[in-house]
Amino acid sequence: PYVVVSNHQSSLDLLGMMEVLPDRCVPIAKRELLYMGAVGVVCWLGGIIFIDRKRTHDAISVMAEAAHTMLSQDVS
């Protein structure tokens, strides 16, 4: 398993990254992207896990749950 950290220039970069990243990859993005119209819908349909960066405790629990699932299903 590994972690890929990407500093992208626009919201549309996420769509391109979904093509480049491995199939068994768990993408995580900030929750604000969920409310960006068509981009948010495509990201949600693409299986991106959204975290609320303003609510640190909630973000940590979502990432911990994702990590547990990743370990049990052997995905990156």
pLDDT tens-digit profile of 52-64? Answer: 888 888 888 888 8
**Furthest-apart CA atoms within the chain: distance in Å:** 33
- The reported pTM is 0.62
pLDDT tens-digit profile of 36-47? Answer: 888 888 888 878
The domain segmentation of the chain, as residue ranges, is 25-74
Residue 9: DSSP 8-state: S
pLDDT tens-digit profile of 7-53? Answer: 777 767 766 777 777 777 777 888 888 888 888 888 888 788 888 88
In angstroms, the CA 65 to CA 70 distance is: 9
